[in-house]
Amino acid sequence: MVLNFEQWSLWLLALAFAAAAAVVWFAGTRLAGYVDEISDRTGMGKGFAGLILLGGITSLPEVAVSVSSSLTGEEVLAVNNLLGSVASQVALLALADAVIGREALTAVVVAPVVLLQAALNIVLLAMVAAAVTTGDIALGPFGAWSLALLVGYAASIYALSGYENRTTWIVPHDDDDDAKAKNDVANAPQPKQAGEKEREKIPLRGLVVRTTIAGALILAAGYVLSQTGSAAAAKTGLGSAFFGATFVAIATSLPEISTMVGAVRLKRYEMAMADIFGTNLFNAALIFVTDALAPGEPLLGRVGAFSAFGALLGLVLTALFLAGLVERRDRTVLRMGYDSLATLVVYFGGVGVLWLLRDQAGG
């Protein structure tokens, strides 16, 4: 039996949303620990583990929303949800920054793989904006730009695979003993916490099973989050494009929030950022799936200025964090780095622009 959330009362939707959020938080915080232990035992880099395992598993709610929306004629909502998730998840990195508190997040990340992940995100988001503004060409059931996004995602994963195990570049600190000491501390093995000691006793197969169960819980609860969030937002009278890019996007981002906070608490900062950037790369690839399932003309040619701005907003927010990773300014305000604060200001300003563009969402 398929539940029709639109017939539920607002208080019942709120109750279901809260219950699903609790399940996502429970599963997501444990998922970060499982993936961390798997990466240690298999030799997988923290950044790549966050990119593939955390990013892939926490993207499951977006998969559910994209497929269901495409099959029910709400493919424009699906695209705006994906692009809105990109922007909201980058903005939510400021939450991880606030969890650290004493240091800026971009100052304690030392692995260059995160910079590459951010740069590849920018490339794919630029492709989305280009597709929306120039139109698309049909290649059977999907558009040429959508296919290019899928190829770009595959190329990004190939470029990132094994990157952490290769000798690339490091920042010299010959004249900066304090910065060198900070990097040494960040790279030093961290004392094992109680939860980590317990996970060490679990066989690898058991870790994989627990990771799978956590992923299944996130998929089911994440879908409930997206559907109850959509129904509740619709009852408020907001446009479908706007609540798809904001409310639904934030709802489907809750798995990333829980795993990101869990990774930060374990001091796995590269994994936390890679979770967000990995999910956003995957969201770009999901546009191809949405386009292939949706009937009619190529999707990116008919979504409108709203989606183009959504892609550009995600691009600019990612660029702000990339600049912070390069600059590595370890100064905080309101418990977060300057780049995180700038990201929040730009994000909320961008949401205001999306509100003004809500009638230009295409369809």
Handedness of CA 38, 29, 58, 214 (dihedral sign): positive
Residue 3 covered by a domain: no
Give 275 or 49, the one with higher predicted confidence.
275
Give 232 or 143, the one with higher predicted confidence.
143
Residue 166 covered by a domain: yes
Give 349 or 172, the one with higher predicted confidence.
349
Q: Kindly report which listed range (185-194, 197-206, 339-348) carries the lowest average pLDDT score.
A: 185-194
pLDDT band at 185 (very low <50, low <70, confident <90, very high): very low
pLDDT in tens, 226-240: 677 667 766 766 655
Q: What is the pLDDT of residue 242?
A: 67
pLDDT band at 150 (very low <50, low <70, confident <90, very high): very high
Q: Residue 226: in which H helix or E strand, if any?
A: helix 204-235
Give 226 or 310, the one with higher predicted confidence.
310
pLDDT band at 167 (very low <50, low <70, confident <90, very high): low
166 contacts: CB under 8 Å, gap ≥ 6: none
Tokens of 289: 């799936």
pLDDT at 165 over 80: no
Domain enclosing residue 70, as ranges: 8-360
CA atoms of 246 and 353, how far apart (whole Å): 12
Q: What is the pLDDT of residue 236?
A: 66
Handedness of CA 352, 358, 360, 363 (dihedral sign): positive
pLDDT at 174 over 70: no
* Long-range contacts at 178-186 (CB < 8 A, ≥ 24 apart): 179/328, 182/107, 182/108, 182/330, 183/110, 186/108, 186/109, 186/110, 186/269
SS3 221: helix
**CA-wise closest residue to 269 among 135, 123, 114:** 114
Q: What is the pLDDT of residue 184?
A: 47
Q: Kindly report which listed range (127-131, 206-210, 230-234) carries the lowest average pLDDT score.
A: 230-234
Top-ranked range on mean pLDDT: pick from 25-29, 104-108, 182-186, 282-286: 282-286
Top-ranked range on mean pLDDT: pick from 52-61, 105-114, 120-129, 150-159: 120-129
Q: Kindly report which listed range (71-85, 144-158, 174-188, 347-361) carries the lowest average pLDDT score.
A: 174-188
Domain CATH for 173 = 1.20.1420.30
CA atoms of 113 and 226, how far apart (whole Å): 31
Is 335 exposed, middle or buried, given 0-12, 13-18 or 19+ CB atoms closer than 10 A? middle
Percent of the chain scoring above 70 in pLDDT: 77
pLDDT at 192 over 60: no
pLDDT at 307 over 80: yes
Give 103 or 300, the one with higher predicted confidence.
300
Residue 199 covered by a domain: yes
Overall domain count for the chain: 1
CA atoms of 84 and 251, how far apart (whole Å): 11
Q: What average pLDDT does range 152-159 have in this prediction? A: 90
Cα 157 versus chain centre, distance: 15
The DSSP secondary structure of 90-138, one letter per residue, reads HHTHHHHHHHH-SS-HHHH---THHHHHHHHHHHHHHHHHHHHHH---E
pLDDT at 316 over 90: yes
pLDDT in tens, 37-96: 887 777 666 666 666 677 777 777 777 777 777 777 777 777 887 888 888 888 888 877
pLDDT band at 333 (very low <50, low <70, confident <90, very high): confident
108 contacts: CB under 8 Å, gap ≥ 6: 100, 182, 186, 269, 330
Q: What is the pLDDT of residue 188?
A: 46
**CA-wise closest residue to 183 among 269, 119, 97, 265:** 269
CA atoms of 194 and 181, how far apart (whole Å): 27
Percent of the chain scoring above 90 in pLDDT: 15
Residue 31 covered by a domain: yes
Q: Kindly report which listed range (48-62, 97-111, 127-141, 254-268) carries the lowest average pLDDT score.
A: 48-62
pLDDT at 194 over 60: no
Residue 2 covered by a domain: no
Is 69 exposed, middle or buried, given 0-12, 13-18 or 19+ CB atoms closer than 10 A? buried
Q: pTM higher than 0.85, yes or no?
A: no
Contact 285, 125 (CB under 8 A): no
pLDDT band at 186 (very low <50, low <70, confident <90, very high): very low
- Find residue 332's DSSP bridge partners: 337
Tokens of 357: 């563009």
Strand runs labelled E in 185-331: none
Task: Give whole-number Cα distances, 55 to 184, 257, 329, in Å.
Answer: 27, 11, 27
Contact 95, 261 (CB under 8 A): yes
CA atoms of 132 and 301, how far apart (whole Å): 5
pLDDT at 360 over 70: no
